[in-house]
Amino acid sequence: MDEKPAKRIAAFIEPLRVEPGSRVDLAKDFDARYKARSLTKKHGVELLGATTALLADHQARLAAQDTYGVLVCLQALDAGGKDGTIRHVMSGVNPQGVKVSSFKVPSAEELGHDYLWRYARRLPARGEIGIFNRSHYEEVLVVRVHPENLDRQRLPPSAKAESVWDRRFREINDWEHYLSDNGFKVVKIFLNVSKEEQRKRFLKRIDVPEKNWKFSASDVRERRYWDDYQRAFSEMLSATSTRWAPWYVIPADRKWFARLCAGAVLVHTLIDIAPQYPTVGARKRKELLDVRRQLEDEWSPSLSSGRPSPSVSS
Ligand code: ATP
Ligand code: MG
C-alpha cells in the first residue's frame, strides 16, 4: 500500500503503545481525556470512515491469503465502551471473517479446566479476525481484585503460591509469543475511561429509557474497587506489554476518539502483516483463459434479440 497513510497511522498510535519493559502507573501516565490537539470530532469521524475502509480491504486479503490470523483483546472497566468500539470499528468488514467472543463469569464446565482453556477454544482461525470482548486478562484483573474467583478455580496448593500473578503474567506472555510465532498476531487494547466519565455514563443509563437495559447495579458496586482495578491494570500493563504483543492504552472519555484509535491500532497490525491475494501460476492462468474462451463461445441472451432462436428451442 501507499507508504504515507501507513506511516501516519504508525505515528498516530505510537503515544498509545506501552513500551515493553516499562513500569506503568495508569493514573499518572495515561490521561483518559487525551485527544490529538488539532483533531475535531467531525474530522475524527471522517478519519474513522477512512480507517474502516482500509480495514475492510485488508481483511478481505487476510481471508483470501488464509495464512495469518489476528486476535484483538479488548479490555475496559464497565461502561468503557467495548461494545460501541466493536460495532463502529468493524462496521465495514465482512462478518464471515470476524468472530466476536464475550467472556463472562466462567461456567462450571470452564472452571473444570485450566484457566486459559476457554480462551484457547475461541481463538480465530487463519484468515480470521477474532475479537475477545474481555479476554484472558480477566484472569489477572477481576480474579485478582476478587480473590474468591481464584478459590472457585480449584487450583492445587502449589499453583496458588504467592507468585500466582507473576506466574500468570509469564504464562500469558509465553502463550501469546507462541501464537505470534505461529502466524496469529495479538492486538491488545485497553479502553481507559476516567472515574468521572464512568459516573456520567452510568447516570445516562438511568436517565435515558433506551439505555435502561444496559444499567446494572452490580457495575456501580464494582466502582468501590476502582483503585484496586487501577493497580491491577497498571501491573498487568507493565508485565505483559511485549515486543510480540504490545498493549495500547486508549483514552476513552471521548467515544469518537477511542473508536478512531482502536481502528488505527487494528489497521496498523493488518498493514504490518501486509496480506496479499494469492496469485496463480502460468498453468492455472492458461486453464482460466481456456475456460474463459469456452464461456465466451456459449450462447448468451444479451447477444441475441432476447428470444431463443428456432434452432435452439425445440
Ligand atoms: P456488557 O455489560 O456491556 O454486556 P460485560 O462484558 O460487562 O458487557 P457482563 O455480563 O455485564 O458483561 O459482565 C461480565 C462479568 O464477568 C464482568 O463483571 C467480569 O468481571 C466477569 N468476568 C469475566 N471473566 C471472569 C473471570 N475469569 N472470572 C470471574 N469473573 C469474570
Ligand atoms: Mg457489564
Is residue 192 located within the same domain as residue 82? yes
Q: Which ligand has the shortest distance to the CA of 110? A: 1
Contact predicate 25/233, CB 8 Å? no
Q: With 60 as the cut, is the pLDDT of residue 91 above it? A: yes
Cα torsion 26, 257, 50, 124: sign: positive
| Per-residue pLDDT, 308 | 54
Out of 100, 134, 152, 233, mutate this one to test ligand 1's pocket (max ligand atoms within 8 Å of CB): namely: 134
Cβ of 127 closer than 6 Å to ligand 1, yes or no, is: no
| Per-residue pLDDT, 307 | 57
| Per-residue pLDDT, 38 | 85
171-230 tens-digit pLDDT: 999 999 999 999 999 999 999 999 999 999 999 999 999 999 999 999 999 999 999 999
Domain count, the chain: 2
Is residue 7 located within the same domain as residue 47? yes
Is residue 297 located within the same domain as residue 154? no
Is residue 107 located within the same domain as residue 168? yes
**Greatest alpha-carbon span in the chain:** 89
Specify the pTM.
0.92
Q: In whole angstroms, give the CA distance from residue 149 to residue 217.
A: 20
| Per-residue pLDDT, 1 | 64
Is residue 60 located within the same domain as residue 187? yes
Is residue 313 located within the same domain as residue 267? no
Distances (CA, A) of 301 to 142, 304, 313: 65, 5, 13
Cβ of 78 closer than 6 Å to ligand 1, yes or no, is: yes
Closest CA to 86 of 68, 66, 102: 102
Residue 309: pLDDT band (50, 70, 90) is low
Percent of the chain surpassing pLDDT 90: 88
Q: Which ligand has the shortest distance to the CA of 81? A: 1
Cβ of 101 closer than 6 Å to ligand 1, yes or no, is: no
* Ligand 1 atom showing the smallest separation from residue 139 Cα: 27
Higher pLDDT, 311 or 138: 138
Is residue 49 located within the same domain as residue 190? yes
Residue range(s) defining the domain that contains residue 151: 3-273
Is residue 96 located within the same domain as residue 195? yes
Is residue 225 located within the same domain as residue 311? no
Is residue 233 located within the same domain as residue 258? yes
* Ligand 1 atom showing the smallest separation from residue 78 Cα: 7
Q: Which three cell numbers stand for residue 231?
A: 493497580
Is residue 247 located within the same domain as residue 304? no
What is the CATH classification number for the domain harbouring 16?
A: 3.40.50.300
Q: With 60 as the cut, is the pLDDT of residue 306 above it? A: no
Q: With 60 as the cut, is the pLDDT of residue 312 above it? A: no
Residue 131: pLDDT band (50, 70, 90) is very high
Which of 240, 255, 273 is the endpoint of a domain? 273
Residue 4: pLDDT band (50, 70, 90) is confident
Is residue 70 located within the same domain as residue 177? yes
